Structure 1
Amino acid sequence: MNKGLFSVKSFLTAFCTLFALTVLAQGQAQKGVVDKIIGVVGDRIILQSDIQNAIADAMRSGEKLPSNAPCVIMEHAILQKILALQAERDSIPLTDEEVESQMDLRVRNWIMQFGSQAELEEVAGKTVYQLKDDQRPMIKEQMLSDRMRNKVVSDVHITPTEVKAYFEKIPKDSLPFLESELEVGQIVLLPPASKDVEDYIYNEMLGYKKQIESGATTFEALAKRVSEDPGSRERGGTYEVNRSDKSTWDPVFLSTAFRLKAGEISLPVKSNRFGYFLIQQVSRRGDAARIKMILRIPPVTENELSVAKKTLDSVRAEIENKKISFKDAAYKYSDDENVKNYGPYVLNRDGSTYVTIDALDKDMVNTIKDMKVGDLSKPVEFTNDQGKKGVRLVYLKSKTEPHRMNLVDDYAKIADLALEQKKAEVLDKWISKKIPTYYILVDKQATQECPELNKYETTDKGF
């Protein structure tokens, strides 16, 4: 199943998510289009619309599709069902709570994608609860499939000799040209504003509350005028929130939002991560709520920033005098909440610490432009994604120049690719042994267009 270095792997990664969105596309499907079953695995079916909608969703998302996308998706769908059925045979554990947690995560992502729960429901033509009912079997199947695959390939490892052999088999003209990549770390201090400034902001927000409750203005109008949250300001402060979404919102924000009654406006709520919130609950259904909010960020002055710079000057001296490593210093001193879970380095979407320049914020790009590998910057001011001013040390751990993939510069990447191919070969052998133990039918037209699907059929009945 080695169909290219990156394209098929990245497409299938996106497909795993896009396939779960087919119900949304079906909600918009044209009336009169006749659907049909094009595959059967055990007691599970694959519909033609599943394949068509997955391709349409991939195109809407800007994914680069391989030329044989329908064949790749069809084969992946068959494999997923075989793996899921085998997981059930082997009694691989998967709790209802785990499925619901994944389902809630998907729904929250869809709400963010479409802007609100109402927009999502309008596009899908269904309520969130109906969507969950429709999607739950699909999510469960995908999770079982992933766990079965992980079990099959859990003992697969790669040696340096195998990595070298894998690389030498790649045609020279097929080696990708890679952009410059960097490993960049940071130690962040976000000094609090002075008490006088915080008191001033708090009292201003009390004034907002009184203006709204007196009818002098509306929540939406004030949010558009004074809120410092770019994500909701133009929507009049509107958000869809879920009680379990603690990675996005502070616990104090969530507890306040869900304690309010419909139409009620909170007192100003302080969040160390963001600033001060004024919250109004619009409506609530279970653990989901529609709210409006105004965010104000108490500004820090040069005095607070100066104190933070002096602190980081001391931290920098500790690192340069080898009293502490950069990583340990980040864990000890940084105010960046991501450090605890992900470390001090900027991460790529796949979790890698190797990023291209466009993954860095403008302030950081400006900081590293004259740095050499191994340099640790002096304390520099910056503004984070939430609009808070802070000070940070920036460490340039490594940097590659644009180049053709090679073993010296890209060993880790090549090793990952070689390992994935080896896992795919092990999985192929495992699948070959399992295919005869399942009842599998594939549409004749599909096998004509995709000859590689013939190997899955276990009956000559066809359809």
Structure 2
Amino acid sequence: MRLKMTNMKFINSRNFLMLLLAICSISEIQAQEIIQDSVKKQEAPKSSYKRQKIDGVIATVGDYIVLDSDIDKNFLELAANGNSIENITRCQMLGKLLEERLYAHQALQDSIIVKDSEINSMMEEKIGIMLEQTRGTMDDLVKYYKKNSEEEFRTYFFEILKMNKLTSEMTNKIIDKVEITPEEVRTFFKGIKKEELPTFGDELEISQIVIRPQVTEAEKQKVKDKLNEFKRDIAAGSSFYSKAVLYSQDPGSKSNGGFMKVNRKTPLVKEFKDVAFSLDEGQISEPFETEFGF
């Protein structure tokens, strides 16, 4: 069996890394020269106003740009997802962003097509997930991404998703063309120092016999009767929230009073979505059964 490894004919990894280091070094040197030259020509006037850092373009790859704020946003996203950013420098993050844009740029050069309709569908799904996870509003998203309007945010988000899709398509195209033999894998593995090899915990291979108990019709009826009793109590003025907190066995919604925010793409069983989307606002359904219970 042959294994596949990412490679790129038009990029040498070592040269690319050296290029990134050179970019960071040159940028710093040029900045120092510009500052020194400006000081010689004219002394900056004193002002009581605080200096404000202006977001600007720090790199370009074809039609793609990297803003200074893009680096900050990537650090924030990594931290928000629980990843450590302690040992990641801004230059390394810039290298990652440049690499992504390089793949996307090459995808355009190779005439890889990504349909706008596909990106729009992906964008709506991701926006829905973000709003559900944060329980926020579209205005909250617009403010978080520092945009002036929903339209500006959607345009920005569309371009980001399209670039990511092009990057993914280009990466897959490269991988499909590159092959490596088992002998090359063994040679590479033997070249790794012992202290650099990853450590794995114990692994077991087991066999088991599982028998799921059958719930009798009598037990099912007891559950239905209890749920109907809850429904009558709520109709008489009891709190749905309190009933859910006290009696629900669903770990995902119990603590929130049974509240769930769903749309037709939310991954829930068909029986649940069919009933949920058939109800009027404020209406309580009859007890119904799914594979997870009533």
Distance 2:104 2:176 in 1: 17
* Structure 2: runs of 5 or more not aligned: 1-12, 15-51
Deviation at 1:225, TM superposition (A): 0.9
Deviation at 1:150, TM superposition (A): 0.8
Deviation at 1:188, TM superposition (A): 5.2
Deviation at 1:249, TM superposition (A): 0.8
**Equivalent AA in structure 1 for residue 223 of structure 2:** I
The question of whether the paired residues in 1 share the 8 Å contact of 2:63 and 2:105 is answered with no
1:172 corresponds to 2:186: no
Distance 1:83 1:187 in 2: 49
Q: Which residue of 2 aligns with 1:236?
A: 257
**Equivalent AA in structure 2 for residue 254 of structure 1:** K
1:264 corresponds to 2:286: no
1:46 corresponds to 2:47: no
SS at match of 1:46: strand
The question of whether the paired residues in 2 share the 8 Å contact of 1:117 and 1:240 is answered with no
Q: Which residue of 2 aligns with 1:22?
A: none
SS at match of 2:277: helix
| RMSD (CA atoms) | 2.9
Q: Which residue of 2 aligns with 1:139?
A: 161
- Whichever of the two has the greater Rg, that structure is 2
* Structure 1: runs of 5 or more not aligned: 3-31, 277-463
Query: Given the two structures, how large is their TM-score scaled by the length of structure 1?
Result: 0.46
Match of 1:223 among 226, 232, 244: 244
- Which one has a larger percent strand, Structure 1 or Structure 2? 1
Distance 2:218 2:63 in 1: 68
Identity over aligned residues, as a percent? 30
Q: Which residue of 2 aligns with 1:56?
A: 76
Distance 1:185 1:157, change over 3 A: farther
**Equivalent AA in structure 2 for residue 244 of structure 1:** K
Q: Which residue of 1 aligns with 2:27?
A: none
Distance 1:40 1:64, change over 3 A: same
Match of 1:193 among 192, 197, 215: 215
Q: Deviations over 1:383-432 (max 9, x none)?
A: xxxxxxxxxxxxxxxxxxxxxxxxxxxxxxxxxxxxxxxxxxxxxxxxxx
- The 5-angstrom pairing of residues 145-160 of structure 1 reads 145-160=167-182
Deviation at 1:43, TM superposition (A): 2.2
**Equivalent AA in structure 2 for residue 268 of structure 1:** P
Distance 1:126 1:77, change over 3 A: closer
1:250 corresponds to 2:272: no
Distance 1:112 1:224 in 2: 21
Distance 1:164 1:85 in 2: 34
Q: Deviations over 1:166-210 (max 9, x none)?
A: 122222332233322445676755444111111111121122122
Aligned residues: 240
Q: Deviations over 1:277-326 (max 9, x none)?
A: xxxxxxxxxxxxxxxxxxxxxxxxxxxxxxxxxxxxxxxxxxxxxxxxxx
SS at match of 2:250: coil
- The 5-angstrom pairing of residues 30-429 of structure 1 reads 34-65=54-85, 67-107=87-127, 109-111=129-131, 113-114=133-134, 116-118=135-137, 122=140, 125=143, 133-182=155-204, 189-215=211-237, 217-245=238-266, 248-272=267-291, 274-276=292-294
Query: Given the two structures, how large is their TM-score scaled by the length of structure 2?
Result: 0.70
**Equivalent AA in structure 1 for residue 157 of structure 2:** Q
Distance 1:56 1:175, change over 3 A: same
Distance 1:75 1:158 in 2: 26
Deviation at 1:243, TM superposition (A): 0.4
